[in-house]
Amino acid sequence: MTPSSGSGRVSGLDVARRPERKPGRLGMALVRASAFLTVAVLVFIIGYVLVRGARVLTPRFLLGFPEKMGREGGIYPSIVGTFVLTSLSVAIAAPLGIGTAVFLTEYTSEGLFSRIVRFGTESLAGIPSIIFGLFGFLFFVIRLGMGWSILSGSLTLAAMMLPTIVRTSEESLRSVPDIYRETAYALGASRWQTVTSVVLPSAVPGIVTGVILAMGRAVGETAAVIFTAGSSLRLPGSIFDPVRTLPVHFYILAREGISLENAYGTAAVLIIAVLLVDFAAYYTLHRVSKRRSVTGR
């Protein structure tokens, strides 16, 4: 403890007698201001994009095909592409991520092996998306010969969202009280039975929330997808076809100055998608934790 904290205590006693001069007035004001500035930035971003993009959001734009590189027409193939790519990456990453979390919480005690697994997961979480993009391009697109395709993009995204799913699942598994497990064991259940019939069901809200949040990040990801899923404007026929996801389409429209108007429209769709996903995550956690307050976090 520094000497200054001692003197702070003395002046604190001092102040208690003279409440008209409160120390930290300025500090408190700054702290409050930074919180409201943060929220203001958020509101501005969402408002700006939605207001500017709203004009473009017609059924023709949402369900139409792009014409002239996206200068005219709609974004239907990108909406479909984003949806399929995101769903597939969740389908790949969720079982692996939840499995890893079950392994870490239920099947090992803290030891060298679990430390290695945790190190791998944490390191993966810090890797920038462009590196995932490079890796996906080298490994899935070229080495495994999948080409620019939904499959390459999904596998890359799945690798990227894995740490998020592991961490949130692990947190919710750990929040299941041990008494549940002990009771199950006392009734003669095996470890696997305990996990599947007692632990996992209690942890479902937290796990689902984590998966949904990971999905939200995947929807907006650009750098990792542009080199693995390609930028074709055609409607994909199978998971082996390339797609141009919404963020990639938006990036190309905005950066190459193709159509600012359609860029705003695409951004608005993207923001709405992200907000819906966030709302779904919040709703899942909130509603279920209310219903089951014993395990609620």
Hey, which residues between 222 and 241 contact another protein (CB under 8 A)? Answer: 222-223, 226-227
Nearest approach, Cβ of 44 to another protein (angstroms)?
8
- The two three-digit tokens of residue 56, written as one number: 């473009």
**How many CB atoms lie under 10 A from the CB of residue 48?**
14
Regarding 32 and contact with another protein (CB under 8 A), the answer is yes
Regarding 254 and contact with another protein (CB under 8 A), the answer is yes
Stretch in the footprint of another protein (CB under 8 A) among 73-81, 103-111, 170-178, 287-295: 103-111
- What residues numbered 265-294 form the site for another protein, per CB under 8 A? 267, 270-271, 274-275, 277-278, 282
Regarding 50 and contact with another protein (CB under 8 A), the answer is no
User: Could you say which of 85, 150, 159, 208 contacts another protein (CB under 8 A)?
Assistant: 159
User: Could you say which of 51, 63, 138, 187 contacts another protein (CB under 8 A)?
Assistant: 138
Regarding 120 and contact with another protein (CB under 8 A), the answer is yes
- The two three-digit tokens of residue 64, written as one number: 């139409």
Stretch in the footprint of another protein (CB under 8 A) among 66-74, 135-143, 173-181, 235-243: 135-143
Q: CA-CA distance, 97 to 100, in Å (whole number)?
A: 5
User: Could you say which of 57, 62, 96, 280 contacts another protein (CB under 8 A)?
Assistant: 96
B/e letters for 6-45, b = 16+ CB within 10 Å, e = fewer, are eeeeeeeeeeeeeeeeeeeeeeeeeeeeeeeeeeeeeeee
Count of positions on this chain that bind another protein (CB under 8 A) = 95
In Å, how far from its chain's centre is CA 201? 22
Regarding 37 and contact with another protein (CB under 8 A), the answer is yes
Give the chain's radius of gyration (CA, Å). 24
Q: Could you tell me which residues come within 8 angstroms of residue 50 by beta carbon, excluding any fewer than 6 positions away?
A: 268, 271, 272
Q: CA-CA distance, 64 to 283, in Å (whole number)?
A: 32
Regarding 175 and contact with another protein (CB under 8 A), the answer is no
Q: Among residues 196, 226, 197, which one has the least CA distance to residue 81?
A: 226
User: Could you say which of 123, 175, 183, 197 contacts another protein (CB under 8 A)?
Assistant: 123
Three-class SS state of 135: helix
User: Could you say which of 56, 146, 210, 221 contacts another protein (CB under 8 A)?
Assistant: 221
CB 246 within 8 A of CB 86: no
Q: Could you tell me which residues come within 8 angstroms of residue 236 by beta carbon, excluding any fewer than 6 positions away?
A: 77, 80, 81, 84, 150, 242, 243
Nearest approach, Cβ of 150 to another protein (angstroms)?
19
User: Could you say which of 107, 175, 234, 290 contacts another protein (CB under 8 A)?
Assistant: 107
Nearer to another protein, 59 or 145 (CB): 145
